[in-house]
Structure 1
Amino acid sequence: MTNVTTTSSGAATSRARRGSSMRAEKMWGWFLTLPSLIHTVIWIGIPVVVAIGMSFTDYDIVQAPTFAGLANYAEILRDEVFWKALGNNALMAAFGVPISMFIALIAAVALNQGLKGQGFFRTMIFMPHVTATVAIAMIWLWIYSGDPSGLANRALGFFGLAPQNWLTNGDLALPAVIVVTIWQGIGLKMLIYLAALQGVSKELYEAADVDGASTIQKFFNVTIPMLRPATFFVLVTSIIANFQTFDLVYNLTNGGPANATTVITYQIYVAAFQQFRMGYATAQSVILLLVLVVLTIISRRVVGGTDGD
């Protein structure tokens, strides 16, 4: 009886120590994340709340805001340019994001094989991501120049095709911008995939070799499943970055021709800083936020954030 009592007392003491240790870990966890939490609340949380409140007002910067109810949102429903911009963003995401992710994945797999000069190729592929977008726009303005001296038109001329007005043709302007977003976005995606690939156990590939799996089978049955968390992260951040595209469109096309390349962020800029309609601009921003939240949830459902999903 005494032994049973002693054992029970020891188990209770052990559980109490574990509970105390877990509480200490949680306390230190909150303490270490507190600076980031305060930063998030001040610079993200409060501005979001203020923007939502301002979206229900009529505010032109000069005069004090006045309550407008749902008038701004009702106007958005009738605003054909806004929905055109949303459609352009959707097209850019639907075509640009998957293509850039696929190219980035292939590049990451190739550079993970220990090839000669891989450091150079990594740098070159990543360089567009860290280059100022204005500089990138200047380069592509020359590439897309409408006269025969433009690089794109020279390439067409090599195949005997007529030169094109890439950025002033309503049918070509948006695809031309999408090509630039693909090229600019490959570097960061490649770097993330490369880091994820280096965390994949080689034993999985060795086991696949024992089973007689081909290179293609290993790619689809080992590599891609093990990269699912990285794919989810890349997909979500790429969609968000796509819907935040502004400076590239501003410098390449200014939203033209005839709103063929206008995007939501550009329309928010026009409403806020050209028309000085801050209430309407913030209402558009709230709609953009809701769109991104919905797309993030859909992405998590489709891809899954962790291997356990």
Structure 2
Amino acid sequence: MTNTVTHPQPTRTRSGTPAAKLTRGRLHRKERQAGWLLVAPAGLHVFIWVGLPLIVALILSFTRYELPAKPRFIGFENFVEAFGKESFRTAVLNTFIMTGVAVPVSMTIALCIALLLNQGLKGQGFFRTAVFMPHITATVAVAVVWLWIYNPDSTGLLNKAIEIFGIGPVSWLGYPDLALGSVIVMLIWQGIGIKMLIYLAALQGLPLDLDEAARIDGANVVQRFLHIKVPLLRPATFFVLVTSIIQSFQVFDQIFILTSGGPANATTVITYQIYLSAFEASRMGYASAQSIVLFTFLIFLAIFSRRVVGGTDAH
């Protein structure tokens, strides 16, 4: 005589759906609703202070809006005028040069410092704070300090330093060939701190077993860095790269304090050109078109960075 085992049948509703599945669905729906409720304040803040201004700027970019006159639709004329002017093309070129030099150099220096601090050296807390301090210092204060460093007469700190080698005072911000490079040096110095901190946090979160296994297999320090740490640091590198590009494209205070875009537009960047168009010439429509161009550049650079660096380890 054989015994048959009976399994309990799941409780079903009138529609035939298992009650457990229906309960899970309700829980998931409530979780989604709670999530949207928690995100709503931040989403509303972003929409009001980012979304709406972006929409307004996009609309105004197709108008001739010169204060105090009313906006008048002119199509793509503002964009054609912007790229037809040498001053704006120079600003775009200066912005790309500044970003192309300052971002990779500061990232490289920040990674090297993070690697040194990750070795558990004595006094690393002091050095970490010292390197990070320029990032939390007011940008205007930083620019004023560097304005004194670049002072063209003999009282400037940099000119005093080169006097040791018998070199006379140099107008670091007065020559077109030196001005942009001088601003880039300041941007590199100011941007190292936050990049170093992000890289240091990423390094301290890496698994030690892979590095130890590679060391046992005979891999040297350079090989372990290139083939283990660099791939594992890709998410941090992507984040640092994108945020650094955005910060570099939004540089304004430093230019305004140090050079005011001079000499001969040698340090004029897109943000400063937008400022001149909007608040010096009162051409809000034209300035909005330049802002949309800046936003478009940032979108394409972020996508390009994602393709080149990648944001996750799953590749």
Coarse TM-score class (shorter-chain normalised): over 0.9
Give, in angstroms, the shift of residue 208 of structure 1. 2.0
Query: Which residue of the other structure, out of 51, 62, 67, is the alignment partner of 2:57?
Result: 51
Which shifted more, 211-220 or 279-288?
Answer: 211-220
1:83 has 2:89 as partner = yes
Structure 2: which 5+ runs fail to align? none
Give, in angstroms, the shift of residue 158 of structure 1. 1.9
Question: Residue 28 of structure 2 corresponds to which residue in structure 1?
Answer: 22
Query: Which residue of the other structure, out of 3, 6, 9, is the alignment partner of 1:6?
Result: 9
Give, in angstroms, the shift of residue 3 of structure 1. 3.6
Query: Which residue of the other structure, out of 59, 62, 66, is the alignment partner of 1:60?
Result: 66
**Partner Cα separation in structure 1 for residue 6 and residue 223 of structure 2:** 59
What are the Cα deviations for residues 11-32 of structure 1, in whole angstroms up to 9, with x where unaligned? 9555444444433332222221
TM-score for both structures, normalised by structure 2: 0.92
Query: Which residue of the other structure, out of 288, 302, 305, is the alignment partner of 2:308?
Result: 302
Residue 71 of structure 1 aligns with an amino acid whose one-letter code is E
Question: Residue 125 of structure 1 corresponds to which residue in structure 2?
Answer: 131
> Contact 2:10–2:19 at 8 Å: present in 1 too?
no
Question: Residue 252 of structure 2 corresponds to which residue in structure 1?
Answer: 246
Query: Which residue of the other structure, out of 168, 178, 191, is the alignment partner of 1:172?
Result: 178
Give, in angstroms, the shift of residue 96 of structure 1. 0.5
- Size of the aligned set, in residue pairs, is 308
> In structure 1, the residue corresponding to 2:39 is in which secondary structure?
helix
Alignment of 1:210-221 (within 5 A): 210-221=216-227
What are the Cα deviations for residues 100-120 of structure 1, in whole angstroms up to 9, with x where unaligned? 001111111111222111111
Which shifted more, 94-103 or 113-122?
Answer: 113-122
RMSD: 2.0
Alignment of 1:1-309 (within 5 A): 3=6, 6=9, 12=18, 14-309=20-315
Residue 44 of structure 1 aligns with an amino acid whose one-letter code is V
Question: How many percent identity over aligned positions?
Answer: 54
TM-score for both structures, normalised by structure 1: 0.94
**Partner Cα separation in structure 1 for residue 54 and residue 230 of structure 2:** 36
What are the Cα deviations for residues 30-77 of structure 1, in whole angstroms up to 9, with x where unaligned? 221111111111111111001100111112231222222222111112
> In structure 2, the residue corresponding to 1:138 is in which secondary structure?
helix
**Partner Cα separation in structure 2 for residue 203 and residue 63 of structure 1:** 67
Residue 226 of structure 1 aligns with an amino acid whose one-letter code is L
Residue 26 of structure 1 aligns with an amino acid whose one-letter code is R
**Partner Cα separation in structure 2 for residue 172 and residue 252 of structure 1:** 13
Give, in angstroms, the shift of residue 254 of structure 1. 0.5
Residues 222 and 13 of structure 1, relative CA distance in 2, 3 Å threshold? farther
**Partner Cα separation in structure 2 for residue 162 and residue 37 of structure 1:** 56
> In structure 2, the residue corresponding to 1:6 is in which secondary structure?
coil
**Partner Cα separation in structure 1 for residue 149 and residue 244 of structure 2:** 25
> Contact 2:90–2:265 at 8 Å: present in 1 too?
yes
Residues 206 and 17 of structure 1, relative CA distance in 2, 3 Å threshold? farther
**Partner Cα separation in structure 1 for residue 18 and residue 234 of structure 2:** 42
Give, in angstroms, the shift of residue 4 of structure 1. 6.2
Larger Rg computed on CA atoms = 2
Residue 228 of structure 2 aligns with an amino acid whose one-letter code is V
Residue 146 of structure 1 aligns with an amino acid whose one-letter code is P
Residues 254 and 29 of structure 1, relative CA distance in 2, 3 Å threshold? same
**Partner Cα separation in structure 1 for residue 262 and residue 39 of structure 2:** 45
Structure 1: which 5+ runs fail to align? none
Residue 133 of structure 1 aligns with an amino acid whose one-letter code is T
